[in-house]
Amino acid sequence: MFRLNLKIALRNLWKNKVYTAINIGGLAIALSAFILVAIYVRFETSFDHNVPNHENIYLLGRTLPDRKTNYTSLSLAQALKEAIPEIENVGRSKKTNFEFAFSTPDGRVYGKDVITIDYTLAKMFHIKPEGGLVKPEGEALNVYLPQEFITAMFPKKTPVFPAKVSIGPLEVKQYADVSGIVNHNVAHSNLVFDALLITADVGKNQEPTAYNYFTYIQVKPGTDMAQLQKKVAAVYKEELKKSAVTAVVNRGSVESKIANEVNLVTNTNKADQSGVFLDPLDNLHLRPIAGNNTNYKVVMALSALTVLVMVIACINFTNLTIAQTNKRAKEVGVKKVLGAYRLSLVFQFLIEILMQCLVALILAIILAEISLPLFNDAFSVSFSLWKDNYELVWQLPIVLLIITLISGIYPALILSGFRPVAVLKGNLQTSYKTLWLRNALLVTQFTVAIVFMAGLLIVSSQLKYMRTEDTGFKAGQVVYIKNIVMFGRPYFENLKARILEMPGVNSFTVASDIPDGSRPGRVDYAMEGKDLGMDIVHVDFDYFETLRLNLKDGRFFSKTYPADAENGIVLNEAAVAAYGVKNPVGKIIRGCDMDYRIVGVVKDAKMQGFETAVEPTVYAIKSDCANDKMKFMVNVDPDHMAGVLAALKSNWKDLNKMDGDDFRYEFMDELYGRLFKKQEQLQAVFYGAAILTIFIATLGLFAFSAFTITSRMKEISIRKVLGASDFNILSLLNSFFIRIVLIANLIGWPIAYIAAQRWLETFAYRIDLPILPFFIAGSISIILTLLTVSFQARNAVKTNPVDALKYE
């Protein structure tokens, strides 16, 4: 019996080759997208899952009156360890603010992300250098580099460790021993580094109240996190108050004591206004408390869109299977008369559908393998279909069974439910009984397609706005020159004078930060009795001119006014608004233990992109509280760009004797453009989803309209005999499907509008939600419907009525 049912299934599939191909093709395309996205989602949601007890590790952060930050003080870690028994381990890390150069006579590499961690944190994150993790003695530092760094510096053979390498510029002649190779997948971890320094105690002999450390805690399994949060908050407030008391005791002069007693009151107030939070390690990549959740939005969008594509494919499959039920009616009737049970018929039809789904899955795997390079390029990943994705071996069969049941259970019940007497008499009403379901499924398909089309157009509009809107500065002809050393003003002035002599150079400056989306340091400033935390950018003369920021009031820094280099300061519009002062130029603002005079107000510049509002920012030439000025920027005339870069490269060693080993640069507009990467990925997601849903929905419409027109051939012939024109017939056949698509638009537009509105709300600077994308999506859906149905209807219009009515 099984062989007989298999033969019947194969014959039916072959007999209806067009419908079978559409069913299998649509499902294969959706499944290939599902496979790729499943790999991506698994990767994005499993950061640091190789770390033992990763679910019990938390990053400590602070909630301040105006922001959230992951930076904590050095003293807090030890205080938590001593005060709270639920905390098993506490680890700390600290970033460097500049690149490290590691070199040998055979090669040179630059570590952009160099971090120092303590031995405890290395154990928490399961760091395993080749040769094993060794606890450093005393104040020693064990330096570990990744394999690619070692290969670049020692291209001939792997050295015997510890291996001596040069640190920093070659002229400095500073050396260090590399302890070994560390194999850590930074692409899949929240602990990101190019080079790793491990010490017994991070920050030993450093200022205990400095807020530039990351603190991780590992709690005991089963810990009540709500209670732990309260205990950590209590310890944090005590440490904050202690730091102010310590500062008062340590300062000797009367003036310093008075100033620090004021700080004591200020810090006590801050303790009441601020708090701490515990951010789970599992959340840090996608939904960090102190950070943005763009990664999470992309993952959720991909997941939701892929599920919808799969739903459309299953709907398409179900719709076409139901549409062909009449062709199998007599087969079912005969089998029932011969004694077949309904359960056996359901099983038979499910086997047929399973066969189609299995072929679709095989094709999907092939399509996924072919599409993988494009997917990797779009999302800046390097996935392999099977490497590190062994779960697919058992997950795909489960997906196959689920799709078979979703797509086939209802058609199987319909087919097996025919009544033999009615079927054998030719009384078939099944098509009408299932008409409501087929129409609903078709509406659902086009609704999803319309949502995706409208979403794609809105995402593209926001991206176009971000690329073309005035950012408040001009990065188009600015070159960022990388530098790894600190220097004094006389040295920089000499370097600047020589570079300005080059034809085509408009200006040259140095600053602590560049507009690449990174956040500068933050310092508290007080003016007219109001104390605010503000971003601080450490700049030099010509900074504003180099980036071509726009002046609103006062003036920029100028060498004509020598005081600018000592206590001059420029605020942005956001800072002036935060203080609520009028005419701020000339007023005094205090921060970093000194008084500054405001010389100008610059218009707001979107240095961190469009997702976050411009922060209140101060620009100062002299500030002991800001990051060091190490980042060179040169504004070059576009017509001389190639010549200037060539001249700088050839003369760099002579120009910059402190750090002239390599001339490394990036174009500022390219750096800033990387801030849009995730949104461009989201656009790619919508683009792919829109194409897939439109294609699958059109395939379904093509097959469904072909079946509908074929079943109405006699009606069409009678109408032609009674005098109906070709246009009348085409209008009749199109009107039904146009109504379906119009209903889909009425449902899809509000869904797309709400989803787009919520997405746009994540941007501080965004477009007004346009109406045009909805009309464009509706027009495309109607045009595709007219073309698809008319293409099918042309044969019906041309058919001779005699051929359809000759048996009547």
Q: What pLDDT was estimated at residue 380?
A: 79
**Joined tokens for residue 726:** 């070709």
Q: What pLDDT was estimated at residue 538?
A: 93
Handedness of CA 14, 17, 19, 22 (dihedral sign): positive
CA torsion angle 645 647 651 653 (round to 10): 0
Per-range mean pLDDT, top range of 222-236, 347-361, 408-422, 426-440: 222-236
Give the rounded distance of the alpha carbon of 348 from its chain centre: 45
Residue linked to tokens 């109406």: 771
Q: How far apart are CA 182 and CA 144, in angstroms?
A: 6
Cα angle: 91, vertex 191, 519; to 5 degrees? 100
CB 634 within 8 A of CB 496: no
Q: State the pTM of this model.
A: 0.79
Residue 344 neighbours by CB under 8 Å, 6+ apart: none
Q: What pLDDT was estimated at residue 248?
A: 44
Averaged pLDDT of the chain: 83
H/E/C letters for each residue in 391-448?
Answer: CHHHHHHHHHHHHHHHHHHHHHHHHHCCCHHHHHCCCCCHHHHCHHHHHHHHHHHHHH
Helix axes 677-711, 726-760, angle to 10 degrees: 160
544 phi and psi angles, rounded to 5 deg: -65, -35
Q: Letter for the amino acid at 61? A: G
Percent of the chain with pLDDT over 70: 86
Nearest CA among 58, 302, 43, 391 for reference residue 189: 43
Which secondary-structure segment (H or E) carries 87?
strand 87-95
pLDDT band at residue 205 using 50, 70 and 90 as cut-offs: low
**Joined tokens for residue 499:** 């570079």
Side-chain half-sphere exposure of 802, counting CA atoms within 13 A: 0
Burial 437-447 (b: 16+ CB within 10 A, else e): ebbebbbbbbb
Q: What pLDDT was estimated at residue 638?
A: 92
Q: What pLDDT was estimated at residue 603?
A: 95
Q: Which contacts (CB < 8 Å, 24+ apart) does range 387-392 have? A: 389/39, 389/42, 391/42, 392/35, 392/38, 392/39
Q: Letter for the amino acid at 615? A: E
Q: Compare 251 and 717 and report the one with higher pLDDT.
A: 717
- Hey, where are the domains in the chain? 2-43+293-465+678-805, 54-283, 483-663
CB 623 within 8 A of CB 590: no
Q: Letter for the amino acid at 325? A: T
Mean pLDDT value across residues 291-316: 80
Per-range mean pLDDT, top range of 329-343, 355-369, 407-421, 632-646: 632-646
Q: What is the DSSP secondary-structure string of 684-707?
A: HHHHHHHHHHHHHHHHHHHHHHHH
CB 431 within 8 A of CB 437: no
Whether 431 shows a pLDDT value over 70: the answer reads: no
**542: phi > 0 → left, psi -120 to 50 → alpha, else beta; which?**
left
Q: Letter for the amino acid at 767? A: I
Q: How far apart are CA 319 and CA 697, in angstroms?
A: 11
Q: What pLDDT was estimated at residue 75?
A: 84
Cα angle: 784, vertex 378, 31; to 5 degrees? 55
* Distances, alpha carbon 164 to alpha carbons 143, 159, 183, 615, 658, in Å: 11, 9, 20, 44, 21
Q: How far apart are CA 433 and CA 414, in angstroms?
A: 10
Q: Compare 716 and 438 and report the one with higher pLDDT.
A: 716
Cα angle: 516, vertex 517, 519; to 5 degrees? 115
**Any bridge partners for residue 595, and if so which?**
590
Q: How far apart are CA 309 and CA 291, in angstroms?
A: 31
Q: What pLDDT was estimated at residue 715?
A: 79
Q: How far apart are CA 76 and CA 95, in angstroms?
A: 17
Give the rounded distance of the alpha carbon of 635 from its chain centre: 31
Q: What pLDDT was estimated at residue 736?
A: 84
Q: How far apart are the first and last CA of the chain?
A: 38
Whether 221 shows a pLDDT value over 60: the answer reads: yes
Q: What pLDDT was estimated at residue 518?
A: 83
CB 785 within 8 A of CB 734: yes
Helix (H, G, I), strand (E, B) or coil at 176: strand
Give the rounded distance of the alpha carbon of 801 from its chain centre: 60
Mean pLDDT value across residues 180-202: 90
Burial 133-150 (b: 16+ CB within 10 A, else e): beebeeeeebbbbbeebb
**Joined tokens for residue 246:** 């310590």
Handedness of CA 364, 366, 367, 368 (dihedral sign): positive
Q: What is the pLDDT of residues 745-775, one digit of tens each?
A: 999 999 999 989 988 888 889 999 999 999 9
CB 436 within 8 A of CB 674: no
Burial 777-805 (b: 16+ CB within 10 A, else e): bbebbbebbeebbeebbeebbeeebeebe
Cα angle: 272, vertex 274, 276; to 5 degrees? 125
Q: What pLDDT was estimated at residue 255?
A: 41
Nearest CA among 58, 95, 69 for reference residue 232: 58
Q: How far apart are CA 201 and CA 136, in angstroms?
A: 9
CB 274 within 8 A of CB 63: yes
Q: What pLDDT was estimated at residue 231?
A: 92
DSSP 621: S
CB 591 within 8 A of CB 523: yes
Q: What pLDDT was estimated at residue 551?
A: 95
Q: How far apart are CA 788 and CA 109, in angstroms?
A: 59
Residue 626 neighbours by CB under 8 Å, 6+ apart: 512, 520, 521, 523, 536, 537, 538, 592, 620
Q: What pLDDT was estimated at residue 665?
A: 93
Mean pLDDT value across residues 541-563: 94
Q: What pLDDT was estimated at residue 487?
A: 77
Percent of the chain with pLDDT over 90: 36
Give the rounded distance of the alpha carbon of 335 from its chain centre: 56
pLDDT band at residue 244 using 50, 70 and 90 as cut-offs: low
Q: What is the pLDDT of residues 522-535, one digit of tens each?
A: 888 999 888 888 89
Look at the chain and count its residues.
808
Peptide bond into 162 cis (omega under 30): yes
Q: Letter for the amino acid at 725? A: S
Q: Compare 66 and 397 and report the one with higher pLDDT.
A: 397
Per-range mean pLDDT, top range of 62-71, 85-94, 653-662, 682-691: 85-94
* Distances, alpha carbon 132 to alpha carbons 12, 76, 91, 662, 723, in Å: 64, 29, 19, 34, 91
Cα angle: 197, vertex 201, 206; to 5 degrees? 100
Q: How far apart are CA 617 and CA 604, in angstroms?
A: 9
Q: What pLDDT was estimated at residue 76?
A: 86
Q: Average the pLDDT over each of 72-76, 203-207, 564-568 and give the range with the smallest value.
A: 203-207
Q: How far apart are CA 28 and CA 366, in angstroms?
A: 9
